[in-house]
Amino acid sequence: MKEGGKGSRLEEFIANPRGALWRLALPAMIGMVVTAAIAGLCSCVRLQ
């Protein structure tokens, strides 16, 4: 993490908004994929 706290993060977002949005969205997307995979796996196990 960069020194300077929230100010540097704001500057980073302003300088590169697309990259910053991906840094926020990617963990959420990965979490949704994992959750969906686990839910699908559990439903398959329950059906058998």
User: In the chain, where are the structural domains located?
Assistant: 6-47
Longest dimension (CA), the chain: 55
C-alpha torsion sign, points 30, 33, 39, 44 = negative
Label residue 4 exposed, middle or buried (CB < 10 Å: 0-12, 13-18, 19+).
exposed
State both tokens at 42. Answer: 């559990």
Confidence of residue 13 (pLDDT cuts 50, 70, 90): confident
Average pLDDT over residues 35-39: 90
Confidence of residue 10 (pLDDT cuts 50, 70, 90): confident
pLDDT of residue 5: 63
Q: Higher confidence at residue 15 or residue 8? A: 15
